[in-house]
A and B are shown apart, each in its own frame.
Chain A
């Protein structure tokens, strides 16, 4: 497909478990963003990758959150020792480059529910 792909679409897990969320950006897009969207709220920036540069992790809410991306390919967002407040939709977006005149292309998100 031509769009941003995220998996799984839904994830239910018990408090304290680790989860891994995957994002496959549009081919050729060098910039990749992760956002968190809590129920009824806007998008909260988590992390930004641009090519092989060091990522901007300034939005990660705690050290339980981490993300990786190899080159310009797939990214994974990992949440360790999940808490109930981690329940949210996690959205991934990509753009062709870091230029701000590029609208973001979003995946459909992963809905994470922590029991």
Chain B
């Protein structure tokens, strides 16, 4: 079955430290891949997306993600975390053909220590 796994429910980092949020997917082929961020009381905002081509994609707010086909992973990274990055982060996949459904991971809640 198609699925998205975010193994870390909570992550705490100090401000200025680097960050990596993990995402693994199970899919029949390479899907479209997305990372979204959700601040408290708000909807989801797109950080970045991968469709094809360069496996390292740049997004907004200084985030980047790397697609690794061999590991079925699409991990999100940021070199230096800011206090305003505290939020919940969701990885999502969508089929490259056929079904229009998106599948979301259960999210990783990021806490940033001053």
Residues of A within 8 A of B (CB): 4, 6, 31, 33, 35, 41-43, 45, 48, 50, 56, 91, 93, 98, 100-101, 103-109, 111
Contact = CB atoms under 8 A, between A and B. Distances in A.
Most chain B CB atoms below 10 A, which of A98, A103, A107, A109: A103
Nearest to A98: B100
Interface residues of B, number: 23
A43 B104 contact: yes
Contact of A42 (B95, B96, B107): B107
Contacts of B43: 4, 6, 91, 93, 106-109
Given A43-B104, A104-B102, 6 more contacts: A4-B43, A35-B104, A42-B105, A100-B100, A104-B46, A106-B36
B90 interface: yes
A56 B97 CA distance: 17
